[in-house]
Amino acid sequence: MPGENALHRLPIAGASGYNGPVNWPTECAGVIPCLNEAGAIGPLVAAVRSRVTTVFVVDDGSSDGTAAIAAQAGADVLRHPATRGKGAALGTGWQCAHNRGFSWALCLDGDGQHSPDDIPAFFQCAERSSAALVVGDRMSQAAAMPWVRRTVNTWMSRRLSIAAGRPLSDSQCGFRLMNLDAWSRLRLNTSHFEIESEILLAFVAAGCAVEFTPIRVIYKSEQSKIHPFRDAVRWARWWRQRDG
């Protein structure tokens, strides 16, 4: 059945991952996509900057004070005049980090649901496994996730695991550590929430090591930027077209 077969792996020449000592505070940049996160972004930037020196906040067309608050907290702010989607915001941040000479990008959502206290676990996982992509794994505490998110994540992760030919335990987590050299060699097309799925399959297909590390599950009173019907339709469209 289309979309269910394991990926055809075409390793990229010199596929990159962790290949030696990394000075994480200076060689890794934080990348935080944001849309109207004025209430959370300041403390988040400050906490991430205690782990990495440079944090890029990509303001994806916010109508509140997200950009100003992020800048006050010490972030390098990149702005989209109009909302383009999470995938587009991440792409802007990754490209800027790569252009500035960073080797790695640490990605967190801007609403505070990812704990900066978990950041060292990503670095340790990359060092231990030589992975090019390390993804946060919430599934050991899945009961703490909202039912809809848990159900959708489990369903998508099963389908993506079949396509990848290996387990992908938490395919939709946006808390990630990514090697930018490996990323720069990939062709990515999505601009919204499908980016989480697309980049996982792209790294696996390129022969890059992908690992998962357990993280905390934090859900507060924030309003999710995911629109269940619209984003499900986008994901389904991407799923049908990805082998085209």
Q: How confident is the model over 55-66, as pLDDT tens digits?
A: 999 999 999 999
The alpha carbon dihedral of 127, 18, 160, 85 has a sign of: positive
pLDDT score, position 239: 73
Q: Kindly state the tokens that stand for 197.
A: 């799925």
Mean pLDDT of all residues in 32-54: 97
Whole-model pTM: value is 0.87
d(CA 170, CA 197): 10
- β-pairing, 76-80 vs 55-60, is parallel
pLDDT tens sequence across 7-41: 544 444 445 677 779 999 999 999 999 999 999 99
For residue 161, how many C-alpha atoms fall within 13 Å in the half-sphere facing its CB? Answer: 14
Mean pLDDT of all residues in 174-187: 96
Which 8-state DSSP code applies to residue 222?
Answer: P
- Phi, psi for residue 194 in degrees, rounded to 5: -65, -15
pLDDT tens sequence across 97-131: 999 999 999 999 999 889 999 999 999 999 999 99
Higher pLDDT, 238 or 95: 95
Residue type, 149: R
